[in-house]
Structure formats: C-alpha cells, structure tokens
Amino acid sequence: MDADLSHDPKYIYSFLENIKNNDLVIGSRYVEGGGVVNWSFSRKLISYGGSLYSRFILGVDIKDLTGGFKCFKREVLQSIDLDTLITTGYAFQIEMNYRTKLMGFMVKEVPIIFEDRIAGKSKMSKKIFIEALLKVVLLRYYKKNILKGSNQ
C-alpha cells in the first residue's frame, strides 16, 4: 500500500474479506469498477500497457500486474524465495504476482480507484521502464527455475 494515500484505506475491508478465500488480493485499477484519477494520458498508457505487455509475455490472467496495493497470505510470502527475485522497481510487483500464480495460489483482483499523489514524485524513470520490459521476458524464460527455487 502506498503511504501517500493514493491507495485509499477504505478498500482494506474488501481486502480482508476477499483474502479469506484467496491467497493474494490485488487492488486493481483495470477490472470493472476500478480506475485512476488525475493521471496524464502517457502515465495511463505506461501503466496499462505494462500490465498488458506483461500479461501477454507471462501468460497470466491478472489484469493489473503492476499495482502495489495488495494483501498476501503469509504462506505465499513464505513460499517465495525472496533471495532469488530478479527484479527491482515496478517490475518487482509483476514478479511477485507471477510467482504467486506459478505456484498455484489463488489470486483475486478487487476494484480500486487510484488517485494520483498530491505530494511527492513518482519513482518512474526510463531505466525502471526498460528494466521492466527486459525482466518480464527473463521471468518467462526462467519459469522452470523459478518454480524449482520456490520453497513450496
């Protein structure tokens, strides 16, 4: 959850209800009822395009792979060998979702409205963007190794 309140705490109740029957709950901007407020067209394109690109390359059905508002069950985090993660930046969100799906855990997306921060600055940069493009391909390439490296 972002600490600048761009992730509204009002959604936490929905997360707690949905985590009872799922292993990961993602606050999704890209399912029905979700969305973003105060984003430029280019920011929307980067975010939605990144999720679409990652979904295509990785073959997963998660619509909002890049979002950071989520709730994991402890068992999921204990099953992921965090020392073997290959990503940083926003691609970290993609990798955590991908590993969760690869290990067969149940993932649920719930709609959220993401409001752009009113203070501070985004960490998005050209370097982070390029890393995400390349690392998503590597994640797909190393799929078997990722599964071997899990603690499950």
pLDDT in tens, 83-140: 889 987 779 999 999 999 999 999 999 999 998 766 556 666 777 778 888 999 999 9
pLDDT in tens, 2-22: 766 678 889 999 999 999 999
- Tell me what pLDDT residue 142 has: 85
| Side chain identity, residue 115 | E
- Tell me what pLDDT residue 95 has: 96
**With a threshold of 0.85, does the pTM exceed it?**
yes
Cβ neighbours for 139, distance < 8 A, ≥ 6 positions apart = 57, 58, 86, 87, 94, 95, 98, 146
- DSSP H or E stretch at residue 24: strand 24-28
Residues 64 and 50: beta-carbon distance below 8 Å: no
Instruction: Say which residue, 76 or 46, is predicted with more confidence.
Output: 76
Instruction: Say which residue, 50 or 107, is predicted with more confidence.
Output: 107
Say which DSSP state 107 is in: E
